Chains A and B, each alone.
Chain A
Amino acid sequence: MDEVILETRNITKVFPETIANKDISFKLRKGEIHALLGENGAGKTTLMNILYGIYLPTSGDILIKGKKVIIKNPLDAIRLGIGMIHQHFMLVDTLTVLENIILGLKEYGFVIDKKAVKKRLKEIENLYSLKVEPDVKVWQTAVGEQQKIEIIKVLFRGADILILDEPTAVLTPQETQSLFKILRKMKEDGKSIIFITHKLEEVMQIADTITVLRKGRLIKTLPKSETTKSQLAELMVGKTQTLDFSRKRPKSNEEILKIENLTVHSDKSLKSLKGVSLSVFKGEILGIAGISGNGQKELVQTVVGLKKAVQGKVVFNGIDITNKPPRYIAQAGINYIPADRLAMGVAPNLSTIDNAIMRRYYRFPLSKRGIMNYRKALAYTMMMAKAYKIKLDNPFAPIKLLSGGNMQKLILAREILENPKLLIASYPTRGLDIASTQFFRQKLIDIANKGKTIILVSEDLDEVLSLSDRIAVMYEGRIVGILNAKEADKNRLGLMMAGVKT
């Protein structure tokens, strides 16, 4: 247990505009689960990317089992027994699960030896109770499933050191628990795990050792037994604020959104909508709970015009917006925070400016008679970064270089600043650190208190329960129940989400 398997000595990583890591000396022991904490942009992903050979450190050394190594690319890392699951999954959508798992491995031949692969999959399944369908295409699988595929991919390559960058951000509580089971089993097998998260409960539950980063520096490494949640929170950000969740909004009977018998086909057979009806009232926060892949995405995307309804009607503020184009619906006053920031929320290779103005580039003063005013666009972006505390080193650099949480903050800010009558937020706090999560939750409440309406889609039941006035639960393309927040609790919701009648 005490043997140090991986060590960094004074690792520093300098990017053109920022020092992402400064003098980081960090030790990972054999058979431990080591949690890495820190606010958005603290440098967690960067440090892990260095260990995985995606970046070379500007200075400093990496030692594996006491021997100095140079990790120049992920292949080196894999050879050294390091596996990484990235903050944003790296699966190829159009390939099958099996093809993804062996992608880049030479051992299974140019024409894939499927039998051998499946045999090995079976071994892994038996060892860790990790089961996947090898022959379906990745785009047909849910996020929780993709997480498993990523883990199997790493195990397949025989990793002893496993890095997980915010693995639970996209998981339901149940999925998180089964992930933890797998991690514990791996730990028993003598594997070492580095685990990045923003959720302190998870840290207290699973970690043996905890390291806190702040502004690129290692603040402290300490055993879990000697710390508490509040101490960790303080180490991370200094001080935490308390939330004012008080509902200052009166109950209203004004129906702002009316969905009638909405049916949507989708390429993924199970996940279509099967005649959903729902009324949303002005000024309320309506939570939509459900395990991802049960129609939540189809529901909200149809409302905002990104998916076609084959049947049914959507009426917003008295106007029929069924199957209207996205721009029309946005101008009617509905804004949308998509679940997957990289797939839909941003154009990753364009600058932060280009991404920040996505919702208003066509309006004065950002453009006038078809001509853009990029000076105004820059000013708007800087204002946004300042007002919403986005760590933005260079607004002209591609947005993909922002840290995951900061990219999410920019999307949130962009949509909120449109001041919509109805804001549809899918997993809004995914990947945000504690302070930012609180900041944006407070923002959502303020918005509702001002008489605007919010639909909140989330798997995070704590979030749904603490923010919503009512909660609709979706299961297999239907709304299986709507509860008042007062009468809802985690247990009951969990059962409904799993399709159990209550």
Chain B
Amino acid sequence: MFYFEKRQQTPGYLKALIPIISLLLGLFIGALAILITGINPLLVYKGLFLNAFGSWYAFSETLVAAVPLILITSGLIVVFRMNVWNIGAYGQYIMGAIFSSYFALFASNGLSKPVMLTVMVIASMVGGAIWALIPTLLKIFWEVNEVITTLLLNYIALYILKFLMYGPWKNPSSYGFPLSKTFPDTAILPIIFKGTRLTIAIIFALLAVLVVWFLIKKSKFGYEVRVIGDNPLAARYAGISVNRNIIIGMAISGALAGLAGMTEVSGIVHYLQVKIGADYGYTSIIVAWIAYLDPLITVLASVLFGGLASGGYSIQITMRVSYGIVGLIESITLFSLVGAQIFLNYRIRWKNGSS
């Protein structure tokens, strides 16, 4: 028999161990699934690892996937710390992509590249923020739970995107494929490392991390976020406007998710289509948890999950392993992470007969 004993404080080694074990568990279950399909999981994982970190090009692809993860997660951290559960980065990402694409597709005349890109960045952030503020206002004024509304808005965003892609924004010469015209050159983010797909978006991502780190650790806003996260009643008592901070936090969170959407269409895809990697919005939730809502650890965790994503794509092609495996590994990881929360707060003890 074993039982739980409540902890007063969580030891540091455990905090480091739990994410690692969770990920290993995810990989283990993933291995079982691969085994069922009759392929040697060790070979698959070796392939996955090499395709994620084995060469400079492979690593650059990992970073390509890490960039949107870093952007989105940085924003999620801010609201998660206030116990506001924004599950809507998926939709905010799509809206960011749509808003910025509008300018790339229909308003690019005569604008120089820097101006064009600035406009697109701002548009994407506004788009993402609007999409995040809808559920926020519903939460504040009608006490509608944000988990449900942000999730629903994901579907609405996806349908808006589909509508545009099959309808008004569809490229007439795309042979029926749901995609827009290719962006003009002025609307495409410049590459920073030749021979890779890494754009200056990586600078946006690092800037976002720094800004969020500063906000959380050094700013007055960060202090207020901390108090709200721990005891909203005490926050109100101290004169902190809980609603105002939630609005600001959600706006930041939505804006960064929207920006991630822009970097994807403008930097990687170069046109708008239905599949633009919005799933990053869900993966980021896992990244945020595994990083303990810490902006600096987020970078590390994003690279890890970026590697999983890009390595996963490659093995899908080279080894015929379904990309679904990556989703499985991710979800098992999240599952065990959430389950492991109990170990952070409780200590397991084994019982020996008498007591």
- A residues sitting closer than 8 Å to B (CB atoms) are 53-54, 69-73, 75-76, 79, 306, 325-328, 330, 336, 338, 343-350, 354, 358-359, 361-362, 367, 370-372, 398, 401
Contact = CB atoms under 8 A, between A and B. Distances in A.
A371 B218 contact: yes
B238 interface: yes
Given A325-B241, A326-B239, A372 B220 contact: yes
A362 B220 CA distance: 7
B349 A367 contact: no
Given A75-B3, A347-B231, A338 B237 contact: yes
B341 to A, nearest CB: 15
A350 B226 contact: yes
Contacts of A338: 237
Interface string B236-252: 11111100000000000
B11 to A, nearest CB: 12
A54 B6 contact: yes
Given A358-B237, A371-B219, 16 more contacts: A72-B349, A73-B4, A73-B6, A73-B349, A79-B355, A326-B239, A327-B239, A327-B241, A344-B237, A354-B223, A354-B227, A361-B220, A370-B219, A372-B220, A372-B222, A398-B9
Interface in B1-40: 3-6, 8-9
Interface string B214-239: 00001111110011001101111111
Contacts of A354: 223, 226-227
Contact of A73 (B3, B222, B226): B3
A370 B231 contact: no
Give the 6 A-B CB pairs with smallest separation, nearest first. A327-B239, A347-B230, A358-B238, A347-B231, A326-B239, A73-B5
Contacts of B8: 401
A77 B237 CA distance: 37
B252 to A, nearest CB: 14
B355 A69 contact: yes
Contacts of B9: 398
A361 B222 CA distance: 11
B5 A358 contact: no
A85 B121 CA distance: 58
A109 to B, nearest CB: 21
Contacts of B5: 53, 72-73
B223 A370 contact: no
Nearest to A341: B234
Contacts of A401: 8
Nearest to A343: B233
A69 B3 CA distance: 17
Given A54-B6, A370-B221, A371-B219, A359 B238 contact: yes
Contact of A347 (B6, B220, B226, B349): B226
Contacts of A54: 6
A349 B344 CA distance: 14
A371 B237 contact: no
A371 B239 contact: no
13 contacts: A72-B349, A72-B355, A73-B5, A73-B6, A75-B3, A325-B241, A327-B239, A338-B237, A348-B231, A354-B227, A367-B223, A371-B218, A371-B220
B220 A345 contact: no
Contacts of B219: 370-372
A348 B230 contact: yes
Given A367-B220, A371-B218, A371-B219, A358 B234 contact: yes
A306 B236 contact: yes
Contacts of B239: 325-328, 330, 359
B231 A346 contact: yes
A328 B239 CA distance: 8
B355 A372 contact: no
A70 B4 CA distance: 15
Contacts of A344: 231, 233-234, 237
Given A371-B220, A401-B8, A70 B355 contact: yes
Contacts of A76: 355
Contacts of A367: 220, 223
A343 B355 CA distance: 35
A418 to B, nearest CB: 11
Nearest to B239: A327
Contacts of B223: 354, 361, 367, 372
Interface in B43-88: none
A54 B4 CA distance: 11
B221 A347 contact: no
Nearest to B352: A70
Contacts of B241: 325, 327
A53 B9 CA distance: 16
B190 to A, nearest CB: 33
Contacts of A73: 3-6, 349
B237 A326 contact: yes
Nearest to A340: B233
Contacts of A371: 218-220
B191 to A, nearest CB: 36
A361 B225 CA distance: 13
B355 A306 contact: no
A336 B237 contact: yes
Nearest to A301: B237
Nearest to A369: B220
A56 to B, nearest CB: 9
Contact of A358 (B4, B220, B227): B227
A326 B227 contact: no
Contacts of B240: 327
A328 B5 CA distance: 44
Nearest to B237: A344
Nearest to A328: B239
Interface string B258-283: 00000000000000000000000000
A32 B234 CA distance: 41
A348 B235 CA distance: 12
A73 B226 CA distance: 31
A278 to B, nearest CB: 22
A343 B231 CA distance: 8
Contacts of B222: 372
A465 B20 CA distance: 61
Contacts of B355: 69-72, 76, 79
B119 to A, nearest CB: 28
Nearest to A374: B218
B353 to A, nearest CB: 12
Contacts of B231: 343-344, 346-348
B220 to A, nearest CB: 5
A53 B3 CA distance: 13
Contacts of B237: 306, 326, 336, 338, 344-345, 358
B227 A350 contact: yes
A302 B235 CA distance: 16
Given A325-B241, A326-B239, A358-B227, A346 B221 contact: no
Nearest to A360: B238
Nearest to B232: A347
Nearest to A414: B238
Nearest to B9: A398
A73 B1 CA distance: 14
Contacts of A326: 236-239
Given A73-B3, A73-B5, A327-B239, A345 B234 contact: yes
A179 to B, nearest CB: 28
A358 B237 CA distance: 9
Nearest to B349: A72
A143 to B, nearest CB: 17
